[in-house]
Amino acid sequence: MGSDSKKVQWQEGDMTVTRTCSWTAPGCHDGCSVLYYTKGNELIKVEGDPESQYNFGRLCMRCLSAPELVNDPNRVKWPMKRAGERGENKWERITWDEAYDIIEEKVRSIWKDYGPESIVTAIGTGRNIWSLVPKLTYSAFKSPNFAMGFLAGDSCYLPRAAAMGTMIGDFFIVDASQLDPRRYDNPEWKLPECIIIWGNNPIISNGDGFLGHWIVDMQKRGTKLIVVDPYLTWFASRADYWLQLRPGTDAAVGLAMLNVIIGEELYDKDFVKNWTYGLEQLAERVKEYPPEKVEEISWVPAEKIREAARFFAKAKPASVQWGLAIDTQRAGVSVANAICALVAITGNLDVPGGNHIIRTAFGVDRLAHVSSDWGLAELSEEMRAKRLGVDEYPLFKYGLCATARGDSVLEAIETGRPYPIQMYWMETTNTFVNTACDAKRVYAALKKVPFVVVVDPVLTPSAVAHADLVLPASMSVERDSLRNWWWPLRSISKVTQYEEAKTDEEIVLDIGKRLNPEAFPWDTVEDMIDWALIPAGVTFKELEAKTVMWPEPHYKKYETGMLREDGEPGFNTDTGMVNLYQDIFVEWNLDPLPSHMEPPYSPVSTPQMMKEYPLILTAGSRQWEFFHSEHRQSATLREFHPNPRVSMNPETAAKYGIKEGDWVWIENNIGKCKQQAVLDPGWDPRVIHGEHGWWFPEREAAEPTLFGAFESNINNLTTMCTTGPTGYGAPLKNTICKIYKAE
Ligand SMILES: Nc1nc2c(c(=O)[nH]1)N[C@H]1C(S)=C(S)[C@@H](COP(=O)(O)OP(=O)(O)OC[C@H]3O[C@@H](n4cnc5c(=O)[nH]c(N)nc54)[C@H](O)[C@@H]3O)O[C@H]1N2
Ligand SMILES: Nc1nc2c(c(=O)[nH]1)N[C@H]1C(S)=C(S)[C@@H](COP(=O)(O)OP(=O)(O)OC[C@H]3O[C@@H](n4cnc5c(=O)[nH]c(N)nc54)[C@H](O)[C@@H]3O)O[C@H]1N2
Ligand SMILES: [Mo]
């Protein structure tokens, strides 16, 4: 360590302890404050920082197992160039300079022969690269096509972000007192009387910068829960109301709750009058969704919907903690619109203990956050208009996290229209193994792309099947970086180095300097981080010395002009109000109000198919041990969870002659996969659940095995290009299937 280092470090016996924050790799949505214990260059153990007002010393089992992944001898050690055919797993070790030479030459020749738009970059979920890869795409490759991989319908947070964008103009998050270091003792904060947990299991997933245990903390202080989930989760089992709905019918349930709240005039009349637009039209629409009708659609008893709606409307303050299952349906944007309306009309927007309107602490969002527009302004109007998907789906231009649409990228690769794709850059996505639906279709499509680069710490099935170049990425303990999703602002400090791995920051800066040096004016990553920190008024070294910075929170910002650029009171929308009715949707030929939409395959959409595929399949609920397709290398985590599991009600199992632990085929018209049965009365007998992300690093890498990436892959059964009319939201968690015992 250099003498100018400002890291917070001390010795304990023969170990050095560093206080910092952990993000990715391996993957995580959270950034828990940690103590790293190292001996020389080796990470020995990780502990939760007991002084942290973020995670209060807590850590999940994945972070506690980090040394196993960090020290894994099978990680990618140096840049590698494909030696054999794609899929043969034959590689030649090359230097970083050789790798960069290849990339530079390819990019320049694609610019000349096809145009920059023929280059697509792909990321997965909110890892510590979300703002970097946009910068690489727009500024270095000069392409508009930054995509959330092949995630069908961009069905992770982006439907919610699009809905919030046009309806509220800002993001919101449950105010669990995380805005102030005094936390639950902050006198300005109020304990929510009620929280709805909707399509989310935050105790396992800690999604989108929200730590699930904060809800447990609030329950201990008296907060009551309503849970909207087809499964009896830990929270559902402790809720006052559990609405066990049929997967993919959330919009109907939301509209029925609005029907009750508006019909019984339980809404906040002052807020609605002063700060919303279109209640009359919404009131007309929700008349189409009386609880009795919605009971038929959703299987949730009408009386339960009524009681839950009244309980929520009368609780002050109250909030909604929402999750992925909102997005994973064709009606994703509608579901999100209905939920935004519930939060708004009950007067819970931006009040203490409600749903807080949130921007990044100190406005630091480069490197630190999941913003997707860094560098976008450098592209011409004409180039931006070439972004795949925006022609057909204009909402993709306006969402708070706009991307090229994954399904449209797939269609472009398959058909060469509107233009052929020449290069595909994967940085944090294990495509057909996990991110994409219809695994075989995406696998086949990527074989057609002439030049594919993978940047990953691990040699994944995606790298073996498709990569021409593999670049070794550093893990969290090996990188200097920032964390600011949402609050507080923290530094991430490098404490070890793995072989020749480089951080995503280094890789993007190196390539940027070669292809467009004016847009990358920093000499070092530290310079770049210092630049990103200008709004916070500190340097990286100064932040490292503090480890954390909290800005001052503000409530009811719509009253004080803090949300709009013109400084006027109101929301950051076209009307200045919360748009319960969306004029702009009319312009785009979209329904301006939320509505229910059946999944493409369901008892209602395809009744004739239910004879053959009688069960509803929901998939990919988060597991304690894994982050998507990651962590399968860890012997400890695999001891807890050795194989993929399909869960079903014991009644369902008995009907199909299946016993606990049997290997079971899950099959539908798209494909099939094999998982091991778990009998669980928490599921409705008509619904089963399959896990996502499975491959087996212990198996043969080369094709056709590809680490067993197709054997238990639940996305063998899901579909690409079946989104709703907004282009957002796809049925990842609501299709149909049959099951039978595997011999
Ligand atoms: N350990 C771990 N944590 C993770 C991840 C991980 O892979 N592992 N992934 C991260 C990512 S990218 C995300 S997006 C988040 C997602 O995290 P969450 O939002 O918690 O998403 P899931 O766990 O997929 O599903 C949440 C709940 O939705 C329910 N559900 C299924 N179908 C429906 C439906 O149609 N309607 C409703 N209302 N509920 C339904 C499931 O039963 C489940 O309890 O987690 C993040 N955190
Ligand atoms: N059926 C079904 N399918 C789903 C889901 C579901 O609920 N059901 N969930 C969907 C959702 S919400 C999402 S967001 C996607 C997630 O999909 P992704 O986020 O794409 O996750 P992975 O496919 O596991 O690929 C992540 C890769 O990034 C690497 N990695 C991790 N951290 C870093 C880092 O900091 N830098 C670099 N360079 N590499 C890193 C890992 O080693 C891994 O190989 O999956 C989707 N797939
Ligand atoms: Mo996600």
pLDDT value of position 2: 43
Please state the atom number of ligand 2 nearest to the C-alpha of residue 24.
Answer: 35
The model's confidence at residue 292, banded by pLDDT at 50, 70 and 90, is very high
pLDDT in tens, 146-169: 999 999 999 999 999 999 999 999
Q: Which ligand is nearest to the CA of 149?
A: 2
For 411-520, list the strands marked E by DSSP.
Answer: 423-427, 451-456, 469-472, 481-483, 489-492
Please state the atom number of ligand 1 nearest to the C-alpha of residue 30.
Answer: 47
pLDDT value of position 5: 73
Least confident residue range of 139-148, 342-351, 389-398, 719-728: 389-398
Residue span(s) of the chain under CATH 3.40.50.740 come to 80-154+364-480+501-522
Residue 431 Cα to ligand 2 midpoint, Å, equals 8
Residue 1 pLDDT more than 90?
A: no
Residue 490 pLDDT more than 50?
A: yes
Query: Span 484-490, mean pLDDT?
Result: 96
Q: Which fold has domain 171-358+569-587?
A: Dimethylsulfoxide Reductase; domain 2 (3.40.228)
Residue 4 pLDDT more than 70?
A: no
CATH architecture, domain 609-741: Beta Barrel (2.40)
Residue 207 Cα to ligand 1 midpoint, Å, equals 8
Query: Span 724-741, mean pLDDT?
Result: 97
Q: What residues does the ion ligand 3 have nearby, CB within 5 Å? A: 125, 156
pLDDT in tens, 453-475: 999 999 999 999 999 999 999 99
Residue 381's H or E segment, with its range, is: helix 381-384
Residues with CB under 6 A from ligand 2: 24-27, 124-125, 127-129, 149, 151, 156, 324, 427-430, 433-435, 455-458, 460, 473, 504, 619-620, 628-630, 692-693, 714-715, 718, 732
Residue 581 Cα to ligand 2 midpoint, Å, equals 35
Residue 365 pLDDT more than 50?
A: yes
Residue span(s) of the chain under CATH 2.40.40.20 come to 609-741
Residue 38 Cα to ligand 3 midpoint, Å, equals 31
Residue span(s) of the chain under CATH 3.40.228.10 come to 171-358+569-587
How wide is the angle at C-alpha 476 spanned by C-alphas 92 and 89, nearest 5°? 20
Q: Is 325 in the pocket of ligand 1 (CB under 6 A)?
A: yes
What are residue 96's phi and psi, to 5 degrees? -60, -40
pLDDT value of position 399: 66
Residue 6 pLDDT more than 90?
A: no
- Residues 643 and 574: their CA atoms lie apart, in Å, by 50
The model's confidence at residue 371, banded by pLDDT at 50, 70 and 90, is confident
Q: Which fold has domain 80-154+364-480+501-522?
A: Rossmann fold (3.40.50)
pTM reported for the whole predicted model: 0.98
Mean pLDDT of the chain: 97
Transcribe 107-168 into DSSP letters: HHHHHHHT-GGGEEEE--SS-TTTTHHHHIIIIIS--S-EE-TT-GGGTTTHHHHHHHHHHT
pLDDT in tens, 95-133: 999 999 999 999 999 999 999 999 999 999 999 999 999
203 three-state secondary structure = helix
